[in-house]
Amino acid sequence: MRALDPSKTYLITGGAGFIGFHLSKSLLEKGAKVIGFDNMNDYYDVKLKEDRLEILDSYENYSFLRGNLGDNADVFRAFQEFRPQIVVNLGAQAGVRYSIDNPAAYMESNMMGFFHVLEACRFFPVEHLVYASSSSVYGGNDKVPFSTADQVDEPVSLYAATKKSNELMAHAYGKLYHIPVTGLRFFTVYGPFGRPDMAYFKFTKKILAGEPIQIYNQGDMYRDFTYIDDIVRGVENILCNPPAENKKGVRYKLYNIGNNKPVKLMEFVETLERCLGREAKKEYLPMQPGDVYQTYADVSDLMQDYDFKPDTSIGEGLQKFVDWYRAYYGEKNE
């Protein structure tokens, strides 16, 4: 396994996003040159994205391009100007539930946007393309833990379908144009500077405001929560290690990055209550459309290839998030 090479130029789409910000910051701290690419859309509070960028802009080796993945010219401009050796595609329209109400956003960003990234990698050859997939591709699979060898042909949301499509597109481009490609199925990533649309963030805001939180499927759900620092370490291990050719002559690999330890929703809520020092008002509701009962990552490939697996406990990770939330939003523990 090769160590991360700080002499490379890394292009990170979705660079102002949650994972993009943390990965960029870690790479910059190691001395790498990082190019951020983001359209700064208002899916959630743009100020959060602007504050992330303000931190990244303080690094000498950071450059930011405001552009839209759905615009081929914007994407090609980034590749032509900076000639990145390693590309990390994190730019996408996120969220399972939002895809039910706004499907067009997913087709533009996740499908056309990823197509434009693949085309750019074709015409401006790169050493490695790493892209974000999602645990959502496993849909309602009953077999656990979820393995990358499992069939994932029954998505239960358009978001999941776009991520599965990305995997197929990446494989095709890897085969046709000899692009080394690695896909990463992330499992419920959380932590400081996270996404306000995710449950842990919304729960924190409502608990501190004394408002009820919505608990779906009567709390009978499990999630493989993965702390952001573990995600970043996992991605950095992979960046400078493009896959070898498989038996079919394609340099293509998929990994799960998850904590390998599902947490029941009610245990998660109780842990968050302890971290906040507040008891939540709870509203119990049925399962939402597009949601799944459980996620559970098999990370044996990650362990075999990189001797690494995420290991931050939900208690430790949520406490770090709560501490950041209070500092960022000025919330005090009463």
- Give how far Cα 113 sits from Cα of 73, 166, 321, Å: 11, 10, 31
- Whole-angstrom CA distances from 278 to 190, 195, 215 are 20, 22, 17
- Quote the CA–CA distance of 222 and 219 in Å, as a whole number: 9
Catalytic-residue membership of 190? no
Q: State the Cα–Cα distance between residues 21 and 245, nearest whole angstrom.
A: 31
Task: Given the residues 10, 138, 159, 325, select the one marked as catalytic.
Answer: 159
Pair of tokens at residue 319? 């406490």
Q: What is the b/e burial string over 301-318, where b = at least 16 CB atoms within 10 angstroms of the residue's CB?
A: ebeeebebbbebebeebb
SS (H, E, C) 263-276: EEHHHHHHHHHHHH
Inter-CA distances, 118 with 94, 169, 189, 311, Å: 19, 8, 25, 32
Q: What CA–CA distance (Å, rounded) separates 15 from 89?
A: 9
Buried b (16+ CB within 10 A) or exposed e, 194-228: bbeebbbbebbebbbeeeebebbeeeebbbbbbbb
Q: Which residues are catalytic?
A: 159
